[in-house]
Structure 1
Amino acid sequence: MRPEPQAASYHPDTPIDSLADWLADSVESADFPETILRFRNDRHAATVGLAGLSEDKWIRHFGRFEPLRDNVPQPLALRYHGHQFRVFNPDIGDGRGFLFAQMRDGAGRLLDLGTKGSGTTPYSRTADGRLTLKGAVREILATEFLEALGVNTSKTFSVIETGEELERNDEPSPARSAVMVRLSHSHIRIGSFQRLLVMEEPEHMAQLVDYCLAQFPGPPPPEDAPGRDEPAVQLMHMAVERMADLAASYMVAGFVHGVLNTDNMNITGESFDYGPWRWLPAWDPGFTAAYFDQTGLYAFGRQPEALHWNCGQLAVALRALTEAEPLIAAMNRFGPLYGEAIARRWCWRLGLEPRGPEADTELVGASEKAMREGKWQPDAFFHHHRGGRGGEGDLGELLQGYTATPDALTHDYWRESPPESMLIDEVETLWSAIAERNDWQPLHDKVARLRAAGEAHGEVLAPAGHVN
């Protein structure tokens, strides 16, 4: 079973200070008319020593944004560019959020606290810098279920209702307002490097590369990789490995992010910034999450392609520091790494011991075929076949050749039916309870069930030679 996140003492550390002069702008938060605490993630607050905050102090820090002790003295709106639906946009940056604090968890890992809906910044353009309460609720649901399904995701840390009425085209208006805080393993984006390329700041880009390698280390490039001793090449290999695994994790979760722009790509491979997301109602590669994605660029089945393309934009930026050949060599690893990751994660979600690349790839293909033909909702499919049970036809024969993991079916969750899912009708029902009756209990109950589902699934199998 998956262990609970480990508690730690508060350990502030702000290495972003060395980059802030050219990576960010100091800003101030909005002065909200109200600050009503609606959600606090004590489960993950404990990992950075903040679970013991009183409600008053929690609101002062995450609704009024009084600085945390020995931490970032003033919020920082990060500067970046990005491709948005593959059209380059230099006029973006943190338009309704900022970096609020940095600290170490119990394993020494650097984590950021960043905001969404905290007010205008130099990058807000014509927007109001605010977040709807419904948007914050949707992000709670997305991050909780993604975490349960083994996706490397930001954590929704805090949601505070702020008492403003917002006008929105895609929600009934006036809409209730909120400010959200997320806990993330970095806020450095591919778009951060793209901006430095456009601004012709190779020295700053080299500093950003060194920062990422120091703060978010990963395994070294393969022994035969050209240029493997160059920092930019090392970062490229790490990014490709992380993005390939992220793409696989979306597919195994049956999740559609909806807006996989380069400014939404964390260099750590951590998924974040959930707007028009969806979970699949049935296995359909052409399913899209965003009504404005008219061409299906970010459709479910095209997400690996999208993340590979985004890695290519990082490679273009890093050409300011190194030659093309070693960057291309790193890019060429994406396909094999993705194939390995999806097979490994597929076996994990089915509660099966992997048998090897050929057999595991065949299992993935047979499962996809069974889901398409049987019109399975993915969560129901994985639940039904957990531990190799319930297989029919060709898929059943394949499943019989696998061994269930020792704890594949030990949790009570696997004896419950139906399994947890996150289809849009349920999301709307949960929101309706809040919008119509201010009833938050259904949301809290759902979060508890999602966390139980995560406990039942256990920890994701690590790649060969890696540790979780």
Structure 2
Amino acid sequence: MAEPTQAPTLPRPERVIETLGDAFYDAVDPARFPQTILRWRNDRAAAEVGLEHLTDDAWIAHLARFDPLPGSLPRPLALRYHGHQFRVYNPEIGDGRGFLYAQLRDRGGRLMDLGTKGSGQTPYSRFGDGRLTLKGAVRELLATEMLQALGVPTSRTFSIVETGEKLERNDEPSPTRGAVLVRLSHGHVRIGTFQRLAYLRDAESMAALTDYCLREFYAEAGGDDAPERLLAHVVERTATLAASYMAAGFVHGVLNTDNINVTGESFDYGPWRFAPTWDPGFTAAYFDHAGLYAFGRQPEAIHWNCMQLAVALRTLSEAPPLIEALERFGDLYPPAVARALLWRLGVTPRGEEDAALIEALERGLRECNTGIDDFFHDSFGGTIPPSYGDAFAEARERLVDYAPRKGRNHPHWSGPPVSMLIDEVETLWSAIDQRDDWQPLYDKVAAIRAMGDALA
């Protein structure tokens, strides 16, 4: 008698967001698209939540037509929030072209959200059409794959489905192709979610949200000191996020309070770019005229956003413990950036000696004006090639005492550096736009994942 085949792993659906009540969201209907052409399915991420066994037809049914995932949310929920946008407070925002589609647990028991982008209009769409361009979806895929490979805590691009719509946009040639994207993220609660409740002076909902975040994101119970503990967690996680951005050479572009997740996980990619060189003034958004979110100002911007969370939590807490939690950012960031840079350099941290090495590395990168990706690729393992010149003399001397954390035996190191500068992004999009050739994109993702394996 033949042994029965093993049943596929089933997802662990959740709907815990509903415990907060409908003061936090609006049930909405997804858009109906003229076509649904599957362009990207992230089976690696799907395996983490038990959805890798979906057929392509079932994938489209759930992640483009948004048929409910059994056991999870019966209807999509557009989340409510406010936020500072370039430090101007805006109470007129919320999920305007996306929604929370489903919640489920990953294999480790973490709560995960499937959220959308380009899935239609909501009560917060204002004058927008609720849609996403295909180019925007491709750009988000490239950003999330590159950041994950470089060790940045990030949402993952779970699915891209082309919708057959032609969209009019002011910032790219139109009409342009439409898409709907689904991201996998460890929650979608923003600093702006708390700001909205403070704006409304809704202390009861603020307490419920604080307890929800502690329970679902940090495995802690509530209590009288819940606001201070939550802020302390967010400060620690976002200091790590800021450090990882710097080590990756990444510029998010729009670090508004509605774009900062209280889990410290990066998400929502618009005008992002990777900096070609270690230029603190490099910006990603053409509309960031003052350089508010420039490469070198990102730690400051993220710390400022944490300050706004502290202000919101004053609804529940006295100021001194919140200030104490907030002030830890300055102490947490330097060792976090040292860990991130040394991880990318491929050496094991040594503790107190790391600060001097990091200072020497950053000085060398500024003076040499070399490509960030080239430098870390060539120097992985702790040996900076002579071709990078005397700008790195002190860094070389200090690296003598550092042990490699990993060798260069992975095939990735025998090939060229993997980068994601704007010219290459445009080239990859051009192949899709002009010839409907997706292979260069898929090849690039494969190369990025190989780099991630070599670094991991």
Q: TM-score scaled to structure 2, two decimals?
A: 0.95
Query: CA 1:32/1:302 → structure 2, altered by over 3 Å: closer, same or farther?
Result: same
What amino acid is the match of 1:264? N
What number of residue pairs does the alignment pair up? Answer: 443
Q: Which residue of 2 aligns with 1:45?
A: 46
* Pairing 1:37-186 to 2, within 5 Å after superposition: 37-186=38-187
Query: Matches of 2:223 and 2:207 in 1, distance apart?
Result: 16
Residue 8 of structure 1, CA deviation: 5.7
Match runs of 1:223-242 below 5 Å:
230-242=225-237
Aligned to 2:388: none
- Name 2:214's counterpart in structure 1: 213
Give CA deviations for 1:426-450 in whole Å, capped at 9, x if unaligned.
Answer: 0000000000000000000100110
Contact 1:8 1:105 survives alignment (8 Å): no
Q: Percent identity?
A: 63
Report the equivalent of 2:389: none
**Match of residue 298, structure 1, among 273, 293, 296:** 293
SS in 2 for 1:211: helix
Aligned residue number for residue 442 of structure 1: 440
Distance in 2, matches of 1:20 and 1:301, equals 40
Name 1:316's counterpart in structure 2. 311
CA contact (8 A) 1:9 1:106 kept: no
Q: Is the 8 A contact 1:8 1:106 kept in 2?
A: no
CA positional deviation for 1:228: 9.6
The residue aligned with 1:204 is 205
CA contact (8 A) 1:143 1:154 kept: yes
Paired with 1:300 and 1:276, the residues of 2 have a C-alpha distance of: 13
**Alpha-carbon displacement from aligned partner over 1:1-53 (angstroms, at most 9, x marks no partner):** xxxxxx96410011101114110000000111110000000000011111110
Which SS does the other structure have where 2:276 is aligned? coil
Q: Is the 8 A contact 2:418 2:447 kept in 1?
A: yes
Please tell me the residue identity of whatever aligns with 1:150.
G
Tell me the residue number matched to 1:394: 394
Between 304-313 and 346-355, report the one with greater CA deviation.
346-355
Can you list the C-alpha shifts for 1:67-107, whole angstroms capped at 9, x where unaligned? 01111000000000000000000000000000000000110
Give, in angstroms, the shift of residue 415 of structure 1: 2.4
Letter in 1 for 2:250: F
- Among 244, 250, 253, the alignment partner of 1:258 is 253
- Residue 396 of structure 1, CA deviation: 1.3
Residue 424 (structure 2) aligned to one of 423, 426, 432: 426
1:408 corresponds in structure 2 to 407
Deviation at 1:385, TM superposition (A): 1.3
The alignment status of 1:457 with 2:455, answered yes or no, reads: yes
Could you list the per-position Cα deviations for residues 249-283 of structure 1 after superposition, in whole angstroms to 9, with x for gaps in the alignment? 00000000000000001010000000000001111
User: C-alpha separation between the residues in 2 aligned to 1:127 and 1:13?
Assistant: 30
Name the SS for the 2:158 alignment partner: strand
CA contact (8 A) 2:214 2:220 kept: no
Q: How far 1:219 moved relative to its partner?
A: 8.6
| 1:228–1:234 Cα contact (<8 Å) kept | no
**Pair 367,80 (structure 1): closer, same or farther in 2 beyond 3 Å:** same
TM-superposed CA distance for 1:400, in Å, is 1.2
| TM superposition shift of 1:394 | 1.6
* Inter-partner Cα distance in structure 2 for 1:77 and 1:333: 33
Question: Contact 2:242–2:299 at 8 Å: present in 1 too?
Answer: yes
What does 1:282-297 correspond to in 2, within 5 Å? 282-297=277-292
The C-alpha deviation readout for 1:204-249, integer Å capped at 9, x for no partner, is: 00000000000001699xxxxxx99601111000000011000000
- Distance, in Å, in 2 between the alignment partners of 1:354 and 1:286 is 28
Inter-partner Cα distance in structure 2 for 1:210 and 1:11: 22
Partner in structure 2 of residue 346 of structure 1: 341
**Cα distance, 1:374 vs. partner?**
1.4
Whichever residue aligns with residue 237 of structure 2, its letter is R
Q: Which runs of 4+ in 1 moved over 3 A?
A: none
Q: CA deviation at 1:354?
A: 0.8
Following superposition, the deviation at residue 398 of structure 1 comes to: 1.3
Q: Root-mean-square deviation (CA), in Å?
A: 1.5
1:378 corresponds to:
372
Alpha-carbon distance in 2 for matches of 1:335, 1:67: 44
Q: CA deviation at 1:390?
A: 2.4
TM-score (ref. length: structure 1): 0.93
3-state SS of paired residue (2:218): coil
